[in-house]
Amino acid sequence: SLLSVGLGCQVKYAKDFIYTDSLNLNDKNTEVSIGVNCRTCDRMDCQQRAFPPLHKKFDIDLNKRGISVYVAD
């Protein structure tokens, strides 16, 4: 099997990661909001959504194919 680990931190600590050497950390246009988890996140257009939200009605069209069935257009 293949596993991956995602690391995150506040931007003020990003300069300490070697993987950010080529990133412009001052460019606010590259910021992406993240939620605690998919079920409580308000971002309906998130392409990484893995679960439907608990607090909103979400219609799934089984005849439509996209990145995820939980991504709203």
CB contact at 8 A, 45 and 72: yes
43 inside domain: no
The tens digit of pLDDT for each residue in 20-73 reads 888 888 888 887 777 778 888 888 878 788 888 888 877 777 787 777 777 765
Q: Which residues constitute the domain of residue 20?
A: 11-35
19 pLDDT tier (thresholds 50, 70, 90):
confident
Number of compact structural domains in the chain = 1
Q: What is the pLDDT averaged over residues 1-8?
A: 79
d(CA 41, CA 64): 23
17 inside domain: yes
19 inside domain: yes
Residue that is written with structure tokens 């194919």 in the block: 65
The residues, ordered by sequence, that sit 6+ positions from 2 with a Cβ below 8 Å of its Cβ are none
The model's pTM? 0.48
pLDDT (0 to 100) of residue 33: 74
For residue 53, how many other CB atoms are within 10 A of its CB?
Answer: 19
